[in-house]
Structure 1
Amino acid sequence: MGDLVTGEAVVLDLRVAKLASRAIAFVFDVAVQFGLLLLVFLISPTDFDSALQTAFALALTVAVMIGYPTAVETLTRGRSLGKLVMGLRVVRDDGGAIRFRQALVRALGGFVVDFWMLGLGGAVAMFVSLFSDKGKRVGDYLAGTVVIHTRAPKKEVVLAGMPPELAEWAAGLDLSQLPDDLVLAARQYLGRHSELSERARYDLGVRLADDVGAAIRSPRAPQTDPHPYLAAVLAERRRRAGG
């Protein structure tokens, strides 16, 4: 299990997923992709000439093998069906949620290098992952991402309580779209807040608060410090979950 280190040298104790769990998730995802390919080919028109059929088949293959994982990981902020089953999620190297760009680069890297075109059915991904302390494949290195376990943090972190001045505001938040990986990153930040330099404390806090604000559709006010903002969101989330 490896820690994630941000640009400010802040250690985030997120449990990095290694080869075994990622391989099982990959099998689930490949089964879904090949099922989609089979379904699409069965319902596709057959009255094309051979050249058009070849082009059509290639376009469908690219759409499923690249478009499907890109769309799914973008919409779910890092979770495919296989990762959902295994309790995994793709996050940025700094612990934040991935965006379309990271999802697309991972999908392209997987199709071209890790698994299919040059990947010998996954041999390249397996080889690279075995020599990575964070279990990364080529697509992860290119996209600046890492796959983590989301079902439990590596160790408990003492969390800040609800700031009284933000309690009423927090009670009205919609937290349904707040992703687990972002919660974990915010927890680690709050737990190590006093250990950071003033500059690192503010810069990392602003970055996390901006990501949280986008997820809950309630951005941090410029005059509000990132620490109480994040503390209020996480305290409200714990309250709704029963503590």
Structure 2
Amino acid sequence: MSVPPPPDAVPAVEAPGDEVLLSGEAVAIEVQPVGLFLRTLGAAIDVALSMTLFFGYLAVRYWMMQATGDPALDRILNVLALVTAFVVVPCTVETLTHGRSLGRLAVGGRIVRADGGAAGFRHAFIRAMLGVLEIYGTLGAVAFLVAAFSGRSQRLGDLVAGTYSQRVRTPPLPFRTPVLPPGLESWAAIADVARMPDRLARRISQFLGSAPQMLPASRARVAQELLAEAAAYISPVPAAPAEVVLIAATVLRRDRERRSLALADERVERLSGVRVQV
């Protein structure tokens, strides 16, 4: 028999292009695969480096053929150069850097396993071997087409090895500390803001963080709806716009909780004689 969700349950909404993995403790972890454009750009950088290494060999080969003129040595060096430039070097770099390369470093990506764990030598070797076929053998056509139609922009080597490119460079979150709006100092001296339910406090915090990006009409409507719910915990409610009241209540509650924590630390310090480090 299935149990219906509670009335105030909020369905989880995943952001477009993001995925969710479950850790060993069944905690949802949001991951961001590198997009097709950035993957192509990073691969182009790595291919350019491999081609530079190979053309460097051609210069050495030309000099050695002038000196020795041995065709057997030339064939051996051909095979050695191809394997070194297109398999050994990419595999070694990816293994030693735990999924990074110069191209992926430039675009902020890292090769990881499908479950989010670190990739190892086996994954790097499979990707390098298949890369010879899908990148160099077809001028990147197979790799691009497969990545274009896979969920995480995985090329053929990724699908076989069970890996994908994860974004590890994300923009820093803006840090905004709300301050008491001007004109409400006298209200703050007499106001009482009770502790709000965690769900309501979280919604207010999310709204204040995203309000500058909202349309004015939606911003005013959401602020009014949140204030209607929070008014029961604010006494008295000042005669000010809804968003200003929410900011003032948040600042006042934060300052009072900070003072309460400081008093609790002082009480513990007096009773135990041990200074509390914050």
Give the alignment's TM-score, normalised by structure 1: 0.57
Aligned equivalent of 1:81: 102
CA contact (8 A) 1:17 1:148 kept: yes
**For 1:17, what is the secondary structure of its paired residue?**
coil
2:30 is aligned with 1:13 = yes
Give the drift of 1:52.
3.2
CA contact (8 A) 1:89 1:149 kept: yes
Matches within 5 A, 1:120-159: 120-152=138-170
Task: Give RMSD over aligned pairs.
Answer: 2.4
Structure 1: 5+ residue stretches without partners:
157-243
Question: How many pairs were matched up?
Answer: 153
Give the drift of 1:11.
4.4
**For 2:115, what is the secondary structure of its paired residue?**
coil
CA distance in 2, matches of 1:94, 1:56: 40
CA distance in 2, matches of 1:88, 1:50: 43
2:24 is aligned with 1:3 = no
Q: Identity of counterpart residues, as a percentage?
A: 35
CA distance in 2, matches of 1:36, 1:54: 18
Aligned equivalent of 2:88: 67
Give the drift of 1:4.
5.1
Structure 2: 5+ residue stretches without partners:
1-16, 175-278
Give the drift of 1:154.
11
Letter in 1 for 2:19: D
Matches within 5 A, 1:21-170: 21-44=38-61, 45-46=64-65, 47-112=68-133, 114-117=134-137, 120-152=138-170
Give the alignment's TM-score, normalised by structure 2: 0.51
CA distance in 1, matches of 2:145, 2:172: 26
Higher relative contact order, structure no. (Cα contacts within 8 Å, ≥ 6 residues apart): 1
CA contact (8 A) 1:4 1:95 kept: no
- Measured at CA, do residues 54 and 82 of structure 1 come closer, stay the same or move farther in structure 2, by a change above 3 Å? same
Deviations 1:205-240 (A, max 9, x none): xxxxxxxxxxxxxxxxxxxxxxxxxxxxxxxxxxxx
Q: Which structure is larger by alpha-carbon Rg, 1 or 2?
A: 2
- Measured at CA, do residues 13 and 153 of structure 1 come closer, stay the same or move farther in structure 2, by a change above 3 Å? farther
CA contact (8 A) 2:42 2:107 kept: yes
